[in-house]
C-alpha cells in the first residue's frame, strides 16, 4: 500500500476549505462563541439578549446558530461590550511576510 500525499493544512480550516473571507469568519466565530457563552452563563433568552445588546432577536438567533455572514465584527464586539466585556484590538507588524492577517483571542 502506498502512502498518498495530502496537502498541508493551515491553522484556519475555513481558509483550507476555500472561503474567501476565512480570516473574518474565524474572527467572527471566536467572538460569537464568547457571546454565546455569556448568554448561556446569564441564562438569557434571545429576547433578553437582544434588549441588552441592542441587536434584534433574529440577529441574536443568527449568532446563537453561528450564522455570521450578515453580522459585522463591529456589531459582535459592541454586543460583547454591552455584556460588560472589554474588547481590545492590537495592531502589530507581522513577523513574516506571509503571516499577515487577523487573529482574535477570547
Global pTM reads: 0.76
User: Is the model's pLDDT at 2 over the cut of 60?
Assistant: no
24-29's contacts with Cβ under 8 Å and 24+ in sequence apart are 24/73, 24/102, 25/68, 26/102, 26/104, 27/73, 27/102, 27/103, 27/104, 28/68, 28/71, 28/73, 28/76, 29/66, 29/68
Tell me the domain boundaries of the chain: 18-99
Could you tell me which CATH number the domain at 18-99 has?
1.10.260.40
**pLDDT confidence of 77, banded at 50, 70, 90?**
very high
Amino acid at each position: 500500500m502506498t502512502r498518498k500525499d495530502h496537502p498541508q493544512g493551515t491553522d484556519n480550516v475555513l481558509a483550507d476549505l476555500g472561503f474567501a473571507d476565512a480570516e473574518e469568519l474565524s474572527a467572527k466565530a471566536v467572538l460569537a462563541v464568547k457571546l454565546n457563552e455569556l448568554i448561556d452563563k446569564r441564562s438569557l433568552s434571545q429576547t433578553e439578549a437582544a434588549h441588552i445588546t441592542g441587536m434584534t432577536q433574529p440577529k441574536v438567533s443568527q449568532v446563537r446558530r453561528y450564522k455570521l455572514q450578515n453580522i459585522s465584527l463591529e456589531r459582535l464586539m459592541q454586543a460583547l461590550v454591552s455584556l460588560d466585556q472589554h474588547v481590545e484590538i492590537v495592531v502589530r507588524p507581522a513577523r513574516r511576510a506571509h503571516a499577515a492577517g487577523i487573529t482574535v483571542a477570547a
